[in-house]
């Protein structure tokens, strides 16, 4: 990507301390004036137009002009326009900042609520997204890169690790495989170099390995020493023979000790008392179970009687309901019979034979028709009544059958209730007279255990009156000796295990020392590889610059390599150069970066009064110098 960017014109309106300024630029433009006369403001305006920042990269800075009291001047528009030539094509970029004033409901005074930016290209309004997309695609898509290409101080003031990273990216022609082939002793590193992201990762891997192994080599001797102190020499077979003899002696003494019988009797006594207690618990449980069963039987029979009573009442209520319906049916039948009699008595009257309107006698045919209607009405009415009577008679008969069925059921319920009442009476009597006391005298097992307990107690009492002091003392001494022999056996056998562990630790220490040597070897080879690569890289990088030279590593006292990034001019560190020579070095760096990135952008040189025309390096980009002079007003030369 080769791109050339040239500023041809800039037009500022109400930007910071500039109320209005129009500037034309050439390939070499000098802007001169006293300090605070607005030189840097022009650079700020261009950077604000492109990236919304000032020349230092700050995002929070005020572009609004101030009055004599240092307060912002409101109700004015801030406008910056630049005519920029990109690869031979002119384009107008304009940014306008307006204030936004709003009035709250119910208030007359407006309040400032923020700034709004408008963007134009060639006079046509653009959205912020469209505007920034054009900047990214046609000016520069990386703000940091653009600053590197437009300000000779930017790279010099960048942190050294970032400088080094940027310089390393300039060299792509040096391959790791070529270095490995040139230094065959570094071949063991090939797998790591191919798999790891960087040399630093490989170095960290083996340094971590070495550190962990070093920790083991420091700890293992301590463990070996601690275990060696725990080793006890002895013959476990001889000790076991002594233990057998001692245990046999204990058996013989115990046979003579009636106290042993005492302990056995005391054990039997405890067992018998526990058995008797368990038997008592069983008897109590059986008594409680019998009481609980009786109580449940009483509750069950009472519930059954209540259930039968409810069933009888329900059936009697149903019988009453059926009887009520039958009585209602009888009343209805009587009314229907009377209605039939009324229908039978119906006949045509004299008034029915006369016209309703004129009173004259109706023709015989009309009278016959009326008689026919009356007879039809009588026949239908009588038929309907007889049908309903038949239905009601059926209802009464079915009610009689249902009542009879219910009465049969009630009879059975009464019989069952009488039987349940007798049962309930018996259960209540048994429940109320139940005796919760436990009678152990009638239990054969409990009686046997009680007799055995009394017998054992008598035997114990007899033994307790016998003097066994000497035998007990001898038994205690023999047991103590046996315990001491057991502890010696455990210690001797444990010592054998400890010695095996010590041997294992010594083998591990030997293996760890070898692994440490391998890790040290890999770190040494890595330093050799890194040194060879850095020499080639450093040479390739310095070949891209005319004035500035870079040192990218240094050899330490212990032979190791430390990464650095030191820029020099004729052997003098850039940081030790005067301001003018720093600018010259920065321009040399811009020349190289412009070629690498393929972007030629305007270069702003501040404090250009510290350099002379003869020591400015050849630079194939637009150069805009900012020079401090005694002029109170800005003077633009070359534009």
Average pLDDT over residues 345-356: 81
Same domain flag for 293 and 428:
yes
pTM, to two decimals:
0.52
Domain tally for the chain? 2
In a domain, 118, yes or no: yes
Q: What is the pLDDT of residues 612-637, one digit of tens each?
A: 877 788 888 999 999 999 888 889 98
In a domain, 120, yes or no: yes
Model pLDDT, residue 466: 62
Model pLDDT, residue 260: 59
Pick the last residue of a domain from 398, 432, 466. 432
Model pLDDT, residue 234: 67
In a domain, 175, yes or no: no
- Phi, psi of 200, deg, nearest 5: -60, -40
**CATH number of residue 122's parent domain:** 3.40.50
Model pLDDT, residue 548: 93
CA distance linking residue 491 with residue 138, whole number of Å:
85
Model pLDDT, residue 274: 93
Measure CA 568 to chain center: 52
Instruction: Pick the range with the lowest mean pLDDT from 316-325, 361-370, 491-500.
Output: 491-500
In a domain, 194, yes or no: no
CA distance linking residue 545 with residue 593, whole number of Å:
10
Average pLDDT over residues 179-192: 88
Model pLDDT, residue 108: 76
Half-sphere exposure of 137 (CA within 13 A, CB side): 6
Model pLDDT, residue 20: 92
Instruction: Pick the range with the lowest mean pLDDT from 4-8, 60-64, 329-333.
Output: 60-64
Q: What is the pLDDT of residues 396-410, one digit of tens each?
A: 999 999 999 999 999
Pick the last residue of a domain from 411, 432, 453. 432
Instruction: Pick the range with the lowest mean pLDDT from 184-193, 270-279, 354-363.
Output: 354-363
Model pLDDT, residue 259: 57
Model pLDDT, residue 1: 60
- Calculate the alpha carbon distances from 49 to 78, 304, 380, 466, 605 in Å: 11, 101, 110, 117, 19
Same domain flag for 427 and 285:
yes
Judge residue 220's burial from the number of C-beta atoms within 10 Å of its C-beta, 0-12 exposed, 13-18 middle, 19 or more buried: middle
Instruction: Pick the range with the lowest mean pLDDT from 286-300, 449-463, 592-606.
Output: 449-463
Model pLDDT, residue 255: 59
HEC-encoded secondary structure of 187-222:
HHHHHHHHHCCCHHHHHHHHHHHHHHHHHHHHHHHH
The pLDDT-based confidence of 586 (bands split at 50, 70, 90) is very high
Using DSSP's 3-state secondary structure scheme, residue 172 falls into: coil
CA distance linking residue 523 with residue 253, whole number of Å:
74
Using DSSP's 3-state secondary structure scheme, residue 327 falls into: helix
**Range of the structural domain that residue 630 is part of:** 3-151+599-637
Average pLDDT over residues 549-574: 85
Confidence check: pLDDT of 501 > 60: yes
CA distance linking residue 18 with residue 66, whole number of Å:
10
CA distance linking residue 319 with residue 354, whole number of Å:
57
In a domain, 441, yes or no: no
Query: What CA dihedral angle connects 143, 146, 147 and 150, to 10 degrees?
Result: -160
- Residues 463, 262: contact at Cβ < 8 Å? yes
Which two structure tokens, joined as six digits, stand for 201? 């990762």
CA distance linking residue 468 with residue 490, whole number of Å:
33
In a domain, 366, yes or no: yes
HEC-encoded secondary structure of 78-132:
EEEEEEEEECCEEEEEEEEEEEEEECCCCCCCCEEEEEEEEEEECCEEECHHHHH
CA distance linking residue 10 with residue 95, whole number of Å:
12
Q: What is the pLDDT of residues 408-447, one digit of tens each?
A: 999 999 999 899 899 889 889 888 888 888 878 888 888 8
The pLDDT-based confidence of 639 (bands split at 50, 70, 90) is low
Model pLDDT, residue 620: 86
In a domain, 96, yes or no: yes
- Calculate the alpha carbon distances from 331 to 90, 260, 399, 418, 463 in Å: 118, 106, 15, 40, 106
Measure CA 633 to chain center: 64
Query: 494, 490, 485, 487: which is closest to 243 by C-alpha?
Result: 485
Q: What is the pLDDT of residues 21-44, one digit of tens each?
A: 999 999 999 999 998 888 899 999
Q: Which helix (H) or strand (E) holds 161?
A: helix 160-168
Confidence check: pLDDT of 257 > 60: no
Which two structure tokens, joined as six digits, stand for 269? 């006594």
Pick the last residue of a domain from 379, 401, 432. 432
Average pLDDT over residues 509-535: 88
In a domain, 238, yes or no: no
- Residues 82, 72: contact at Cβ < 8 Å? no
**CATH number of residue 296's parent domain:** 1.10.287
Model pLDDT, residue 168: 85
Model pLDDT, residue 559: 66
- Between residues 221 and 107, the one the model is more confident about: 221
Model pLDDT, residue 177: 86
Confidence check: pLDDT of 144 > 60: yes
Mean pLDDT value across the chain? 87
Confidence check: pLDDT of 381 > 80: yes
- Residues 43, 637: contact at Cβ < 8 Å? no
Q: What is the pLDDT of residues 209-236, one digit of tens each?
A: 989 988 888 888 888 888 777 776 667 6
CA distance linking residue 300 with residue 365, whole number of Å:
85
Q: What is the pLDDT of residues 465-498, one digit of tens each?
A: 665 666 677 778 878 887 887 777 777 767 778 7
């Amino acid at each position: 990507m080769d791109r050339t960017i040239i500023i041809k014109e800039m037009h500022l309106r109400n930007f910071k301390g500039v109320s209005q300024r129009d500037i034309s630029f050439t390939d070499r433009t000098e802007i001169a004036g006293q300090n605070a006369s607005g030189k840097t403001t022009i650079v700020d305006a261009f950077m604000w137009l492109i990236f919304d920042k000032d020349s230092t990269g700050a995002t929070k800075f005020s572009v609004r002009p101030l009055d004599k009291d240092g307060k912002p001047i409101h109700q004015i528009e801030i406008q910056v326009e630049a005519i920029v030539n990109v690869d031979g094509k002119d384009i107008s970029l304009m940014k306008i900042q307006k204030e936004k004033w709003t009035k709250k409901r119910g208030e007359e005074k407006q309040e400032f609520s923020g700034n709004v930016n408008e963007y134009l290209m060639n006079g046509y309004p653009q959205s912020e997204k469209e505007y920034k997309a054009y900047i990214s695609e046609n000016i520069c898509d990386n703000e940091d890169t653009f600053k590197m290409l437009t300000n000779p101080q930017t790279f010099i003031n960048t942190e050294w690790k970032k400088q080094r990273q940027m310089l390393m990216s300039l060299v792509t022609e040096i391959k790791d495989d070529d270095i490995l082939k040139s230094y065959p002793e570094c071949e063991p590193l090939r797998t790591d170099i191919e798999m790891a992201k960087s040399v630093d990762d490989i170095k960290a891997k083996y340094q971590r390995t070495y550190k962990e192994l070093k920790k083991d080599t420091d700890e293992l001797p301590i463990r070996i020493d601690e275990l060696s102190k725990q080793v006890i020499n002895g013959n476990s077979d001889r000790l076991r023979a002594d233990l057998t003899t001692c245990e046999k002696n204990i058996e013989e003494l115990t046979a003579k000790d009636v106290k042993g019988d005492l302990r056995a009797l005391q054990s039997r006594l405890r067992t018998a008392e526990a058995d008797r207690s368990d038997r008592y618990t069983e008897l109590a449980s059986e008594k409680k179970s019998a009481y609980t069963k009786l109580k449940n039987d009483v509750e069950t029979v009472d519930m059954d009687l209540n259930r039968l009573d409810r069933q009888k009442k329900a059936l009697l209520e149903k019988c009453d309901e059926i009887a009520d319906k039958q009585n209602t049916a009888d009343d209805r039948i009587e009314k229907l019979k009377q209605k039939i009699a009324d229908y039978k008595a119906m006949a045509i009257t004299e008034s029915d034979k006369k016209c309703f309107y004129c009173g004259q006698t109706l023709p015989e045919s009309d009278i016959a028709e009326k008689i026919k209607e009356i007879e039809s009405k009588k026949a239908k009415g009588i038929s309907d009544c007889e049908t309903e009577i038949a239905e009601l008679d059926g209802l009464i008969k079915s009610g009689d059958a249902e009542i009879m069925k219910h009465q049969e059921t009630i009879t059975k319920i009464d019989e069952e209730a009488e039987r349940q009442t007798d049962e309930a009476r018996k259960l209540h009597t048994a429940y109320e007279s139940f005796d919760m006391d436990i009678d152990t005298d009638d239990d054969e097992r409990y009686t046997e255990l009680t007799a055995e307990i009394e017998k054992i107690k008598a035997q114990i009492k007899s033994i307790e009156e016998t003097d066994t002091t000497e035998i007990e003392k001898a038994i205690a001494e023999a047991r103590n000796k046996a315990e001491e022999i057991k502890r010696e056996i455990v210690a001797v056998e444990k010592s054998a295990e400890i010695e095996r562990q010590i041997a294992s630790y010594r083998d591990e220490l030997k293996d760890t020392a070898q692994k440490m040597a391998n890790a040290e070897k890999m770190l040494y080879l890595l330093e050799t590889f890194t040194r060879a690569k850095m020499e080639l890289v450093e040479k390739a990088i310095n070949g891209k610059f005319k004035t500035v030279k870079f040192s990218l590593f240094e050899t330490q006292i212990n032979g190791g390599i430390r990464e650095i990034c030191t820029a020099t001019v004729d052997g003098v560190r850039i940081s030790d150069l005067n301001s003018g020579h720093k600018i010259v070095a920065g321009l040399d760096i811009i020349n190289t970066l412009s070629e690498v990135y393929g972007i030629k952008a305007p270069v702003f040189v501040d404090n250009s009064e510290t350099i002379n025309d003869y020591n400015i390096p050849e630079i194939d980009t637009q150069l805009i110098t900012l020079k401090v002079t005694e002029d109170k007003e800005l003077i633009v030369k070359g534009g």
